[in-house]
Structure 1
């Protein structure tokens, strides 16, 4: 299955192509991700909010979530393409998922007017998070 999601008028997120269960290419305008920046995004509760639901190998961050899969081992469980799609649009796999679509701007529910047409993370931030998650090869203990 290949789906082309075009840039909508006024939307911040550019198009991307889904092939199978992933987005194989880097998001438009992004360079290859930087794992250190990706870790910082995941750890920052003001930017990614990842640790609200996920647990991850970030021991300095207390009170990590337990609603979603442990991020440890994510790089062994999913390819970069699969991770990219899960971050871009978690609802693609599970429409009732509570995980936000970090890069999709249309077809969302209950989005405040100030955030209409805007992404949570930009293309480079998505690629940075994917790069960091790909380093997490060891399963959770």
Structure 2
């Protein structure tokens, strides 16, 4: 296969991959998520158990970037922990797994006035950009995290069971 053929094949695979929604056959679609009265999600969003190490990685980079707003002592080696949201130390003592899953997926179900993004939600959204620029995105948007990413973050957050004194 020539270099040009490899590039064309790579581009075709990328196009196919980008057409696949972030919720695969083994995941609950964002529009099908069932929330409890208090905003929890009792059942996992994916058939694959959460990966603690990937959840830890999502805390600092990519679509998750939780430490931009939250402090996490278990990640003290990382710079620039935020102070917008509450510290996540002891989160597994404050909420159960279903509640944490619901907060990660769409915190507005638990805390209606929060500025935390809805990470596994496609719309409708309140778009502040409309009030300021008139250039906010229209229609539904793809979720920020995949169903598996939510499960990975939940798995990591469940390890944060000690609130520092």
TM-score bracket for this pair, using the shorter chain length: 0.7 to 0.9
For residue 93 of structure 1, report the CA deviation from its aligned partner: 2.1
Q: Retained in 2: the 8 A contact 1:35–1:129?
A: yes
Rate the CA distance shift 1:38–1:114 in 2: closer, same or farther, 3 A. Answer: farther
Q: Tell me what 1:134 maps to.
A: 158
The structure with more strand, counted as a fraction of residues: 1
Moved over 3 A (4+): 111-116
* Matched position secondary structure for 1:19: coil
The answer for unaligned runs of 5 or more in structure 1 is 1-11
**Bigger radius of gyration, 1 or 2?**
2
For residue 95 of structure 1, report the CA deviation from its aligned partner: 2.2
Q: Retained in 1: the 8 A contact 2:68–2:81?
A: yes
The answer for unaligned runs of 5 or more in structure 2 is 1-28, 130-135
For residue 106 of structure 1, report the CA deviation from its aligned partner: 1.2
How big is the alpha-carbon RMSD for the aligned residues of Structure 1 and Structure 2? 2.2
Is 1:58 paired with 2:75? Answer: yes
Paired residues, number: 129
Q: Retained in 2: the 8 A contact 1:87–1:126?
A: yes
Moved more, 106-115 or 51-60: 106-115
Q: Distance in 2 between matches of 1:54 and 1:73?
A: 12
